[in-house]
């Protein structure tokens, strides 16, 4: 008779099957993912060179092909991104869209998104990206109320995540997917005494888990990634 694993024992902590991500293992992962094209690589290098520490707001390299994969998987034609920064995630998704597809990119910075505009044009997908500078919640609320969004990517100010989510969900088509970045907030969400952005993310994660309109999974990708599908 085998001994039950910790997650099978009453009150036991769940067993962890993951492994630490070392630089060598991370390089191995990137080598076995679709390779970033020259425009994507150039945008990453430009963001790091021009923005220094702020470049950490760019999505992780493995997330770009993942988002493109989600576009193709959902056969998306209408994509919404909340939080564009310098445009790597928008670039990857726009490249995966069909020629008649549209990505509405919401951001507040003309300066940061200018790098994205240049990259989108170089990649030949500038006509697929509808960049809207201004308050993202106002942009979302001005969209048609009927379900029409195939895929949404949320990667903006954490304190507004619940508001963005509640604006997006009714507008998602059946089977549409919302991908949400930074749901771990660098591991701080596990602290019940967390405040500020960490408290906001804890509240958001609870909100998503309780939302019966969607089915969701939280994944250990980069700084935590939640994928949710409209029922």
The domains found in the chain, sorted by start residue, are 21-230 (3.40.50.150)
Residue 138 has pLDDT above 50, yes or no: yes
Q: What is the pLDDT of residue 16?
A: 76
Q: Average pLDDT of the chain?
A: 93
pTM: 0.91
Q: Once rounded to an integer, what is the mean pLDDT over residues 110-120?
A: 97
Under the banding of pLDDT at 50, 70 and 90, the label for residue 8 is very low
d(CA 123, CA 145): 32
Q: Once rounded to an integer, what is the mean pLDDT over residues 136-159?
A: 97
Strand order in 225-230's β-sheet? Answer: 129-133, 102-107, 78-82, 149-154, 172-181, 225-230, 214-219
Under the banding of pLDDT at 50, 70 and 90, the label for residue 15 is confident
Residues in Cβ contact with 12 at an 8 Å cutoff, skipping those fewer than 6 apart: 6
């Amino acid at each position: 008779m085998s001994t039950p694993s910790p997650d099978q024992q009453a009150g036991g902590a769940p067993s962890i099957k993951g492994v630490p991500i070392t630089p060598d293992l991370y390089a191995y992962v990137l080598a076995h993912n679709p390779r970033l094209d020259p425009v994507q690589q150039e945008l990453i290098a430009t963001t790091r060179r021009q923005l220094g520490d702020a470049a950490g707001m760019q999505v992780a390299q493995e997330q770009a092909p993942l988002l493109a994969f989600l576009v193709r998987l959902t056969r998306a034609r209408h994509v919404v991104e909340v939080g564009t920064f310098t445009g790597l995630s928008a670039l990857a998704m726009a490249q995966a869209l069909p020629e008649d597809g549209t990505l509405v990119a919401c951001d507040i910075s003309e300066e940061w998104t200018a790098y994205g505009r240049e990259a989108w044009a170089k990649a030949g997908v500038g006509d697929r990206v509808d960049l809207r500078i201004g308050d993202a919640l106002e942009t979302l609320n001005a969209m048609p109320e009927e379900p029409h969004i195939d895929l949404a990517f949320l990667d903006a100010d954490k304190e507004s995540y619940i508001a963005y989510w509640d604006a997006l969900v009714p507008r998602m088509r059946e089977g549409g997917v919302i991908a949400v970045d930074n749901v771990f907030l660098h591991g701080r969400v596990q602290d019940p005494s967390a405040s500020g952005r960490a408290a906001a993310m804890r509240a958001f994660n609870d909100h998503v888990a309780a939302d019966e309109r969607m089915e969701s999974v939280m994944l250990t990708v980069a700084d935590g990634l939640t994928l949710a599908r409209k029922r």
